[in-house]
Chains A and B, each alone.
Chain A
Amino acid sequence: MKTLKISFLTLLASLFIVSCSSDDDNPDPVNEEEVITTLRLTLTPQGGGANVVMLSQDLDGDGPNPPVVTNADLTAGVTYNGTVQVLNELETPAENITLEVAQEDDEHQFFYEFTGSANSSFAYADTDGNGDPVGITITLTAGTASTGNTLTVTLIHEPIKDAAGVSNGDITNAGGETDVEVTFTYNVN
């Protein structure tokens, strides 16, 4: 019985030791990884000329502030070589997540969807190891002069690349989950 009492006292004592030993150290902030804050689409006119940059930046991630979108206008009849970049600007220097996407290109695909009377269009200019498109580089045809067109760029993780239409850039059957979805508004002059 005596040993029992002692073991109880030990248990009680350990409880207090544990409760008192919780130090006042502050927790470390989380170093957020694989967060995408920024999508930058750089369009280079094939005939030469100044680059057109469309940018969407959301520095507070899931926070309440909406992304800051920088729109740009296109020139009618011009075809552009496009390169998309996704960045984590919470880190300094900014982490280029496009590299990770390129490394695991069979599990990722960018989609480009247009609305408006410009009838803009795009074509994939790259492929993954299986010959399926990735969409880090594209060619984009501006179409005819008009205002208020939109371009939605979507990055899908683990899309079903062999589903109907997906390799042509149709997102409908792609499945997977959306990592980025940004919409730019542009005029074609």
Chain B
Amino acid sequence: MKRFFIIVALTFFYSGFSQDCNNIFLGELIDFHDKTPIIGATIYIKTLDKYTTSDIDGKFKIENLCNGSLTLIISHVGCETKTLTYEINGDIYKLIDLEHHIEELNEVSIKTQGNKKETLTAQETIINSEALKKYSSLSLGDALKEVPGVSSINTGNTIVKPMVNGMHSSRLLIVNNNVRLQDQEWGIEHAPSIDINSANQISVIKGSGALQYGGDAIGGVIVINPVRVILKDTLYGKTAINGQTNGRGYNITSSLNKTFQSGWFANVQGTVKQNGDFEAPDYVLTNTGINSQGFTINGGKKTFESGFEVFYSYLNNEIGILRSAHIGNIRDLVDAINSQEPFIVEDFSYDINSPKQEITHHLAKALYYKRFKNFGKLNLQYDYQNNQRFEFDVRVGEDRDTPALDLNLQTHTIMADVVLDANLKRKVTFGFMGRYQNNFANPDTGVRRLIPDYDKYDFGVYGTTEWVINDDLTLDAGLRYDFNRIDAKKFYQISRWNERGYNADFADIIIDDLGTQLLTNPVFDYHNISASVGVMHNLNDDSYLLANYGLSSRPPNPSELFSDGLHHSAARIELGDLRLNQEISNRISLTYNLSKSKFNLNIDAFYNRINDFMYLRPSGIEQTIRGAFPVWEFTQTNAAFFGMDLSTSYAFTNNFQWSNLSAFIKAKDTKESQAIIDIPAFNTNNTITFTKPEWNNFSASLKSEWVFEQNEFPDFNFETFIASTNETILVDISTPPPAYHLLHFYSEATFPISKKVALNVGLSINNLLDTNYRTYLNRLRYFADDLGRNIMLQLQLNY
């Protein structure tokens, strides 16, 4: 107000002398988001070809102006350059907004594709596009293993599910361009529907620290981001062609990005991939090929103050499953375990026959945001996902080409959030999420539904805050509430209904009695509270500590509630339980990070205590006309996970670097005093890298991957009577395979072709020594060895 009076007074004072070329322009530069003055900005007065700068109050004065138009170009470090034109007719005062915190605040960038963390105090690791390009022909799950503590649970080598600190499937949230992936992630043999080539940056957040994405991330959150929009008139893109010897596969991926300084942008990206049968060192893995096509398009206008984006992605995967892994009963499983080689080994082929999966995933989203002066930012988003999954079993007669599983999952989500960042030291975010999901299980399969038809309603609200106490201390905290309702229509065989005891507990949900089966309408509501608090403390210039506590709550997924039937590849009957309630996780984590010029060290340690942890455990044996099958049922216990992930690197010289990634985890069922199943064993990766920037950015590295034998596992072995030989034998499904050691080689160089075009050539050899091995976390380990040597050549053109 005071300032205003001065200006008014000044205006009055000078107005009397106002002549043609005696006008004064008084400007004041302030920061858009928090109203602080912008000091030392360069103001180029185009019409006069003169420069001036703003003073300590953000003000500047231009004197002796003639009537007419005045063009100013205002620039400042870290700000977007602004061009303004005024009509001068007498003295004038203008308040000009610039934004000084674009990089901190926004999704647009005025510089480059900087890495942007999602969280402050959580254990977060970023994989950038440079590291991702190696995985162009592989999958998301393969790429994430760049992060210590991240492994994968596989079905063969093409269905790769990421695993963070021993947790996977519903315990991990996968977020693609701010959309939480809804792709029937509950199943171990359901790989995430993501084309790795559409990702520009991936953040792996261990634990539930990123509350804005959901409160049920007991294991962690994986955030996949496409390229950021740069406010520059530019057109760029890249095309990569890969060929590999194992599977005789190729893939081509290409992307083109157009951006304008005005904020308009458009990106397209597409990938085609084909692989035939992969090979273990000693034999062909018949029917393990994959065909994949995907593309993404997005466009919109993003500026600092407002913007919108529309995004669409499509992915179609046809994935063959090892033919020998399709078995009929326990005797087949015993035969497979005892046989050193798979029963069916045929010559190499690109054909994909049953058993196989065909998955199509569509994702469409629309986003709008607006920033308000001295307040913050409002985001609105709607997204729609359609996930269609077909699974083809080996069947006979007319049903040969009918899928045994045909599920269609549709999800609509609306989200709104407000980020109050006028004071960057006291940032607050509020958000709301509403989601409707419908699952349709097509009855034309002729096979009883594995997952029933259901409607699901989710509603969430959250608030998070970040407090910068001083240069060395930052706190963050968050609280979230989620409501989930699942409303299913499920058929139960009456024999199963009674055997589960549902006739006593759930008689009221029966809506129809069909003689041998019942139609029921289970409706369950879950209320979930999740919270997180954390601190980041800079010890000195080279090191910092992070500490975080997270509370998260995950309701049972449809598979845990409703599974009901024979799982062919596992030769077991899997049963859900309507009585399950949420599992609650309390996770404490501590990180120490040291970054010296030659030496880097990061230690992530955690303890995760999960009450009512849901898992599958064997409960008995049932006889059917196919033979005897073990029954595995979902049950709840208390579990404790703890572990440490280590990442170290040391530069011996400018050219030689050594790095190590190691992860150690222990997981106990504290009620039963036994180990938890499917926990990765200690593993350590050492890499020696030679780099020579003078030689066209040449680098070569040799990596040693050493995975120990898992000695801690629950003994779920069982005995079965083989009538034909009149003997009882032990079926060893629990003992993990022995330790293994693999060597991998990677080398690359970049050759400039013209001023703007560069060719990057990468050669990698996985499993250099063609070692035979099986991994504990591969569900097909009973049937065949893992992959043999694979030589991959990648040509990537950046333009």
Contacts and interface: CB of A to CB of B under 8 A. Distances in A.
Interface of A: 1, 4, 7-8, 11-12, 15, 18-19, 22, 26-34, 36-39, 56-67, 90, 100-101, 103-104, 107-108, 113, 115, 150, 152, 154, 156-158, 160, 171, 175-183
B495 A64 contact: yes
Interface in B51-81: none
Given A26-B511, A27-B489, A160-B343, A11 B366 contact: yes
Nearest to A22: B455
Contacts of B401: none
B496 A157 contact: no
Contact of A113 (B402, B491, B517, B724): B724
Given A27-B452, A160-B343, 15 more contacts: A19-B412, A30-B445, A30-B449, A34-B396, A63-B493, A66-B624, A90-B516, A115-B726, A175-B343, A176-B328, A178-B332, A178-B626, A180-B625, A181-B329, A181-B331
A67 B723 contact: no
A158 B625 contact: no
A22 B488 CA distance: 12
A58 B414 CA distance: 48
A42 to B, nearest CB: 17
Contact of A104 (B397, B441, B519): B397
A15 B397 contact: no
A82 to B, nearest CB: 17
Interface string B610-626: 00000000000011111
Contacts of B327: 177-178
A4 B394 contact: no
Contacts of A31: 443, 446
Given A39-B625, A160-B343, A177-B328, A32 B516 contact: no
Nearest to A112: B724
A168 B723 CA distance: 19
B656 interface: no
A32 B447 contact: yes
Chain B facing A: main interface SS: mixed
Contacts of B626: 36, 178-181
A27 B328 contact: no
Contacts of B690: none
B724 A33 contact: no
A58 B335 CA distance: 25
A62 B565 contact: yes
Q: What range describes how many residues of B lie at the interface?
A: 35 or more
A89 B380 CA distance: 56
A150 B721 CA distance: 13
A8 B514 contact: no
Contact of B623 (A18, A37, A38, A67): A67
B573 interface: yes
Given A63-B495, A178-B329, A179-B328, A157 B446 contact: no
A7 B495 contact: no
A152 B627 CA distance: 10
B49 interface: no
A90 B447 CA distance: 13
Nearest to A59: B516
A177 B328 CA distance: 4
Nearest to A37: B625
A157 to B, nearest CB: 7
Nearest to B511: A26
Nearest to B442: A30
Contacts of B625: 36-39, 56-58, 61, 67, 180-182
B446 A34 contact: yes
Contacts, number: 163
A30 B519 contact: no
A34 B623 contact: no
Most buried by B among A33, A36, A152: A33
5 contacts: A33-B446, A63-B495, A66-B624, A181-B625, A183-B724
Interface in B430-444: 436, 438, 441, 443
B491 A29 contact: yes
Nearest to A115: B726
B117 to A, nearest CB: 29
B328 A29 contact: no
B167 interface: no
A27 B441 contact: yes
B516 A8 contact: no
B382 interface: yes
Given A8-B382, A22-B455, A100-B397, A178 B627 contact: yes
Contacts of B382: 8, 11-12, 15
Contacts of A181: 328-329, 331, 625-627
B20 interface: no
B723 A183 contact: yes
Given A11-B382, A64-B499, A181-B329, A30 B491 contact: yes
A61 B441 contact: no
Contacts of B453: 27
Contacts of B565: 62
B495 A8 contact: no
B232 interface: no
B625 to A, nearest CB: 4
Contacts of B308: 4
Contacts of A11: 366, 382
Contacts of A62: 565-566, 573, 622, 624, 629
Nearest to B627: A181
A112 to B, nearest CB: 9
B399 interface: yes
Given A66-B622, A115-B724, A177-B326, A15 B366 contact: no
B502 interface: no
A107 B396 contact: yes
A64 B502 CA distance: 14
B368 interface: yes
B190 interface: no
A66 B499 CA distance: 12
A26 B449 CA distance: 14
B10 interface: no
Contacts of B380: 8
B725 interface: yes
Interface in B471-507: 489, 491, 493, 495-496, 499
A43 to B, nearest CB: 19
Contact of A18 (B395, B412, B449): B412
B769 interface: no
Contacts of B414: 12, 15
Contacts of B455: 22
Nearest to A15: B412
